Amino acid sequence: MGKQQGRAMNWAEALMPLFKKYKQRKHPLDYKNRYQLIVMVILSSQSTDDRINELVPALFKAFPSLKELAKAKPEELYPYIGSVRSCIKKANWLVSLAKEIRSDEKIPTTMEGLTALSGIGRKSANVIIRESGGEAAGIIVDLHVLRVTPRLGVAAGTNPEKIEKQLMEVIPKEYWNDAGMAFSFLGREICRPTDPKCDECILNQVCEYYASTLQS
Protein backbone atom coordinates (compact mmCIF):
# COMPACT_ATOMS: atom_id res chain seq x y z
CA MET A 1 0.00 0.00 0.00
CA GLY A 2 0.80 3.70 -0.29
CA LYS A 3 4.35 4.64 -1.15
CA GLN A 4 5.82 8.05 -1.70
CA GLN A 5 9.06 8.75 -3.51
CA GLY A 6 10.19 5.15 -3.14
CA ARG A 7 9.51 4.84 0.60
CA ALA A 8 6.61 3.51 2.63
CA MET A 9 4.01 6.14 3.44
CA ASN A 10 3.78 7.36 7.03
CA TRP A 11 0.00 7.32 7.12
CA ALA A 12 -0.28 8.46 10.72
CA GLU A 13 1.42 11.69 9.65
CA ALA A 14 -0.12 11.98 6.19
CA LEU A 15 -3.72 11.66 7.44
CA MET A 16 -3.39 14.19 10.27
CA PRO A 17 -4.87 17.12 8.29
CA LEU A 18 -7.99 15.01 7.64
CA PHE A 19 -8.37 13.98 11.27
CA LYS A 20 -7.96 17.59 12.44
CA LYS A 21 -10.54 18.87 9.95
CA TYR A 22 -13.26 16.46 11.03
CA LYS A 23 -12.28 15.87 14.67
CA GLN A 24 -15.33 15.22 16.86
CA ARG A 25 -17.83 16.25 14.17
CA LYS A 26 -21.15 14.66 15.09
CA HIS A 27 -22.51 11.81 12.98
CA PRO A 28 -25.20 12.92 10.47
CA LEU A 29 -27.84 10.86 12.28
CA ASP A 30 -29.85 13.38 14.33
CA TYR A 31 -30.17 11.47 17.59
CA LYS A 32 -30.91 12.95 21.03
CA ASN A 33 -29.72 10.12 23.32
CA ARG A 34 -28.12 6.66 23.21
CA TYR A 35 -31.46 4.91 22.84
CA GLN A 36 -32.24 6.93 19.73
CA LEU A 37 -28.69 6.43 18.48
CA ILE A 38 -28.76 2.63 18.69
CA VAL A 39 -32.18 2.46 17.00
CA MET A 40 -31.17 4.85 14.21
CA VAL A 41 -27.86 3.09 13.57
CA ILE A 42 -29.71 -0.20 13.05
CA LEU A 43 -32.30 1.42 10.77
CA SER A 44 -29.67 3.28 8.72
CA SER A 45 -28.06 0.14 7.32
CA GLN A 46 -28.60 0.22 3.52
CA SER A 47 -30.47 3.51 3.86
CA THR A 48 -29.51 7.19 3.94
CA ASP A 49 -29.03 9.11 7.17
CA ASP A 50 -31.35 11.85 5.89
CA ARG A 51 -34.15 9.35 5.33
CA ILE A 52 -33.78 7.94 8.84
CA ASN A 53 -33.75 11.44 10.32
CA GLU A 54 -37.06 12.12 8.59
CA LEU A 55 -38.96 9.07 9.80
CA VAL A 56 -37.81 8.61 13.41
CA PRO A 57 -39.67 11.47 15.12
CA ALA A 58 -42.96 9.58 14.77
CA LEU A 59 -41.29 6.32 15.83
CA PHE A 60 -39.80 7.87 18.96
CA LYS A 61 -43.06 9.58 19.82
CA ALA A 62 -44.73 6.15 19.85
CA PHE A 63 -41.78 4.40 21.53
CA PRO A 64 -39.85 7.05 23.52
CA SER A 65 -37.51 4.58 25.26
CA LEU A 66 -36.43 0.94 25.35
CA LYS A 67 -39.05 0.34 28.04
CA GLU A 68 -41.90 1.06 25.62
CA LEU A 69 -40.16 -0.64 22.70
CA ALA A 70 -39.74 -3.83 24.76
CA LYS A 71 -43.52 -4.08 25.12
CA ALA A 72 -44.13 -3.83 21.35
CA LYS A 73 -44.65 -6.50 18.76
CA PRO A 74 -42.44 -6.19 15.66
CA GLU A 75 -45.45 -5.53 13.42
CA GLU A 76 -46.32 -2.46 15.49
CA LEU A 77 -43.18 -0.83 14.13
CA TYR A 78 -44.09 -1.36 10.47
CA PRO A 79 -46.18 1.84 10.11
CA TYR A 80 -43.14 3.86 11.20
CA ILE A 81 -40.29 2.06 9.43
CA GLY A 82 -42.09 0.37 6.52
CA SER A 83 -40.17 2.44 3.95
CA VAL A 84 -36.80 1.27 5.30
CA ARG A 85 -35.06 -1.56 3.51
CA SER A 86 -35.37 -4.89 5.38
CA CYS A 87 -37.91 -3.29 7.70
CA ILE A 88 -39.33 -6.63 8.91
CA LYS A 89 -35.89 -7.92 9.89
CA LYS A 90 -34.99 -4.62 11.54
CA ALA A 91 -38.28 -4.50 13.47
CA ASN A 92 -37.52 -7.97 14.83
CA TRP A 93 -33.99 -6.89 15.76
CA LEU A 94 -35.17 -3.76 17.55
CA VAL A 95 -37.85 -5.48 19.60
CA SER A 96 -35.49 -8.35 20.44
CA LEU A 97 -32.80 -5.88 21.50
CA ALA A 98 -35.26 -3.89 23.61
CA LYS A 99 -36.53 -6.99 25.40
CA GLU A 100 -32.94 -8.02 26.16
CA ILE A 101 -31.69 -4.63 27.44
CA ARG A 102 -34.98 -3.36 28.93
CA SER A 103 -33.77 0.12 29.93
CA ASP A 104 -31.78 2.89 28.25
CA GLU A 105 -29.25 2.92 31.10
CA LYS A 106 -28.24 -0.66 30.34
CA ILE A 107 -27.28 -0.11 26.70
CA PRO A 108 -23.79 -1.69 26.35
CA THR A 109 -20.78 0.55 25.92
CA THR A 110 -18.24 -2.01 24.67
CA MET A 111 -17.61 -3.71 21.34
CA GLU A 112 -18.27 -7.13 22.88
CA GLY A 113 -21.51 -6.04 24.51
CA LEU A 114 -22.85 -4.21 21.47
CA THR A 115 -22.05 -6.87 18.86
CA ALA A 116 -23.80 -9.46 21.03
CA LEU A 117 -27.08 -7.61 20.35
CA SER A 118 -29.39 -8.30 17.41
CA GLY A 119 -28.62 -6.26 14.29
CA ILE A 120 -25.32 -4.76 15.44
CA GLY A 121 -22.03 -5.59 13.74
CA ARG A 122 -18.61 -3.99 14.14
CA LYS A 123 -19.41 -0.94 12.03
CA SER A 124 -22.56 -0.13 13.96
CA ALA A 125 -20.82 -0.77 17.29
CA ASN A 126 -17.95 1.53 16.31
CA VAL A 127 -20.45 4.30 15.48
CA ILE A 128 -22.25 3.89 18.81
CA ILE A 129 -19.00 3.85 20.80
CA ARG A 130 -17.66 6.89 18.95
CA GLU A 131 -20.83 8.93 19.33
CA SER A 132 -21.11 7.95 23.00
CA GLY A 133 -17.60 9.16 23.72
CA GLY A 134 -16.39 5.68 24.60
CA GLU A 135 -12.91 4.23 24.23
CA ALA A 136 -12.31 3.16 20.64
CA ALA A 137 -12.20 -0.55 19.94
CA GLY A 138 -11.96 -0.21 16.17
CA ILE A 139 -12.51 2.12 13.21
CA ILE A 140 -15.84 2.81 11.50
CA VAL A 141 -15.89 1.34 7.98
CA ASP A 142 -19.01 2.38 6.08
CA LEU A 143 -19.58 2.51 2.31
CA HIS A 144 -17.71 5.82 2.05
CA VAL A 145 -14.68 4.44 3.91
CA LEU A 146 -14.72 1.37 1.67
CA ARG A 147 -14.40 3.69 -1.33
CA VAL A 148 -12.06 6.36 0.04
CA THR A 149 -9.34 4.33 1.76
CA PRO A 150 -8.43 2.12 -1.24
CA ARG A 151 -8.39 5.22 -3.45
CA LEU A 152 -5.96 6.90 -1.09
CA GLY A 153 -3.86 3.73 -0.87
CA VAL A 154 -4.09 3.39 2.90
CA ALA A 155 -6.00 0.11 2.56
CA ALA A 156 -6.83 -2.44 -0.12
CA GLY A 157 -9.74 -4.70 -0.96
CA THR A 158 -13.50 -4.53 -0.44
CA ASN A 159 -14.02 -6.50 2.79
CA PRO A 160 -15.00 -4.13 5.65
CA GLU A 161 -13.34 -6.13 8.42
CA LYS A 162 -10.10 -6.50 6.45
CA ILE A 163 -10.12 -2.78 5.62
CA GLU A 164 -10.68 -1.98 9.30
CA LYS A 165 -7.78 -4.21 10.32
CA GLN A 166 -5.46 -2.53 7.81
CA LEU A 167 -6.45 0.92 9.07
CA MET A 168 -5.93 -0.08 12.70
CA GLU A 169 -2.40 -1.21 11.82
CA VAL A 170 -1.30 2.18 10.46
CA ILE A 171 -3.41 4.67 12.46
CA PRO A 172 -2.58 5.26 16.15
CA LYS A 173 -5.36 4.15 18.50
CA GLU A 174 -5.86 7.68 19.82
CA TYR A 175 -7.29 8.60 16.39
CA TRP A 176 -9.48 5.53 15.83
CA ASN A 177 -12.72 7.12 17.02
CA ASP A 178 -12.41 10.03 14.61
CA ALA A 179 -10.63 8.29 11.73
CA GLY A 180 -13.58 6.37 10.30
CA MET A 181 -15.94 9.35 10.33
CA ALA A 182 -13.20 11.56 8.90
CA PHE A 183 -12.87 9.22 5.90
CA SER A 184 -16.66 9.03 5.69
CA PHE A 185 -17.12 12.82 5.66
CA LEU A 186 -14.39 13.10 3.03
CA GLY A 187 -16.30 10.56 0.93
CA ARG A 188 -19.60 12.38 1.37
CA GLU A 189 -18.21 15.83 0.56
CA ILE A 190 -15.20 15.39 -1.74
CA CYS A 191 -14.32 11.82 -2.71
CA ARG A 192 -17.62 11.04 -4.39
CA PRO A 193 -18.26 7.75 -6.27
CA THR A 194 -18.18 9.59 -9.59
CA ASP A 195 -16.46 12.87 -10.39
CA PRO A 196 -14.56 13.20 -7.11
CA LYS A 197 -13.40 16.76 -6.35
CA CYS A 198 -9.73 15.82 -6.27
CA ASP A 199 -8.46 19.38 -6.70
CA GLU A 200 -10.26 20.38 -3.49
CA CYS A 201 -9.06 17.41 -1.44
CA ILE A 202 -6.61 18.11 1.40
CA LEU A 203 -5.09 14.67 0.84
CA ASN A 204 -4.51 14.83 -2.90
CA GLN A 205 -0.72 15.01 -2.49
CA VAL A 206 -0.65 11.59 -0.82
CA CYS A 207 -3.49 9.98 -2.80
CA GLU A 208 -2.75 7.12 -5.21
CA TYR A 209 -5.98 7.73 -7.14
CA TYR A 210 -5.12 11.40 -7.69
CA ALA A 211 -1.59 10.51 -8.75
CA SER A 212 -2.96 8.06 -11.31
CA THR A 213 -5.24 10.75 -12.80
CA LEU A 214 -2.27 13.06 -13.26
CA GLN A 215 -0.37 10.34 -15.11
CA SER A 216 -3.24 9.39 -17.43
DSSP H helices in 26-170: 34-44, 49-62, 66-70, 78-81, 87-101, 111-115, 122-131, 143-152, 160-170
**All domains in the chain, ordered by first residue:** 10-24+139-215 (1.10.1670.10), 34-131 (1.10.340.30)
Closest residue by Cα to residue 199 from 212, 186, 188, 190: 190
Return per-residue pLDDT of the chain as tens, 216 residues: 555 443 478 999 999 999 999 988 999 999 999 999 999 999 999 899 999 999 999 999 999 999 999 999 999 999 999 999 999 999 999 999 999 999 999 999 999 999 999 999 999 999 999 999 999 999 999 999 999 999 999 999 999 999 999 999 999 999 999 999 999 999 999 999 999 999 999 999 999 999 998 876
Distance from C-alpha of 151 to C-alpha of 194, rounded to nearest angstrom? 12
Grouping H, G, I as helix, E, B as strand and the rest as coil, residue 6 is coil
Q: How far is CA 11 from the centre of its chain?
A: 21
